Every structure is written in C-alpha cells, then in structure tokens.
Amino acid sequence: MAVVKLIVVSDSAKSVAVLVSGTGTLLRSILDNQKDRYRVDIVVADQICPGIQRAKNAGIRTAVVPMETNRNAWNDKLAAAVAAVNPDIVVSAGFMRILGPGFLEQFEGRTINAHPSLLPAFPGAHAVRDALDYGVKVTGCTVHYVDAGMDTGKIIAQRPVAVEAGDTKAELHERIKKVEREQIVELLHNATVENGKVLFP
C-alpha cells in the first residue's frame, strides 16, 4: 500500500499591528527587520506623527484614530482599526495612550508594550527622567503584555542599560532605545501564536 505523506505548507509569517504616537524609531527597526517570521500589516496612531509617515513610505496600511473625550468610543474605534487586519500580535511601540476595555476585550493576550525602564520601577510616560532623578545606576527596557493598568502587565523580557555620569535624559533614552530596537525585533521573530494569544520562549 502506498504511503501518502501530506505536507502542509503554511504562511508562517505572523501578522503584526504596530501602535505609535511619535518618532517611530522602534517602528523603523520593526519594519526594517521583517523577514519570513512576521510582517507588519498596519500601523495605527492617535495623531499624525513621523511614525505614520514612516509606515506610509514603506507602503504599509495606516490609520489615525485621534483621542476623543469619550474614551470608550475611542477604544472601540482603535480596536476596529486594528481588527481590520486581524493581527496575531499588536505592538505598542511608543504609543502614549492607555488601552481600555473596548480594545483589550479583543486584543488582550496578544498586545505587548515596549517601555524604557526596568519595570516595575518607573512606570508611566516619564520613565527615563524618573530613573535619572532617582539616581539609579542601572536602568533598561521592558517588553510586557498590556493589561488595563499603566505598565503593569506581565513581564516578557528585560534588558539592562547602565546610566553614565552626566547622562542627559536624551542621551540615556537614546542608548535605551538602541537596545529596545533589537529587543523588539528578536521577540517578534521568536513569538508563537496559540489560540489567539502570543507566547514567547
């Protein structure tokens, strides 16, 4: 009896949506390092910003969903914009907004955030300044799952960055971002998706 081997070849590239608010240098790294392991299908911002322009230049689909007084309505619109590509992973890369229930109901477990400190130290929008003001000798970066809190979700990966004497906020942040750009790409390459959740080795 002939044995028939069935080989299923699937498109294994994970679909990624990136959320940005500003410069988008993490986004640039994510875009520049797309290989067969992931591809960016949409970039969504809460305002017109260089990150959106970067995405447009790269021929990636974009959407801008400006913040509204009604945060629930905004969360729903943001979720709808992202859902248009049904991504496996949502990356908040310099997205300066807290994601609420309307978004997390759909994307919790597959949304991750890059943060420029070693959480739980220095959560919030001023992590680099706060670390410098505190006088720590080592800070770094964290990628974590997004939950409804401010930088409180389960930690996925962390890398240290030494604070140097006389560092300005901009100098320290740039050294942290250099590490973040490598870290996020490595995580996206190695991520696996199971039952709508993203997992990391």
Binding residues for ligand GRF, per CB under 6 A? 22-27, 93-94, 114-116, 177, 180
**Which residue type sits at 73?**
A
Q: What's the Cα-to-Cα distance from 158 to each of 133, 186, 187, rounded to whole Å? A: 21, 12, 11
- H/E element, 131: helix 127-134
Q: Which residue is nearest to ligand GRF (CB)?
A: 94
- Is 67 labeled as ligand-binding? no
Strand partners, 19: 44, 92
- Is 71 labeled as ligand-binding? yes
Interatomic CA distance for residues 189 and 180, integer angstroms: 14
Interatomic CA distance for residues 166 and 184, integer angstroms: 28
Residue nearer to ligand GRF on the CB measure, 62 or 76: 62
- Is 97 labeled as ligand-binding? yes
Minimum distance from CB of 5 to ligand GRF (Å)? 45
126 is catalytic: no
Residue nearer to ligand GRF on the CB measure, 26 or 89: 26
Q: Which residues are annotated as a binding site for (6R)-10-formyltetrahydrofolate?
A: 71, 96-99, 113
Active site residues: 115
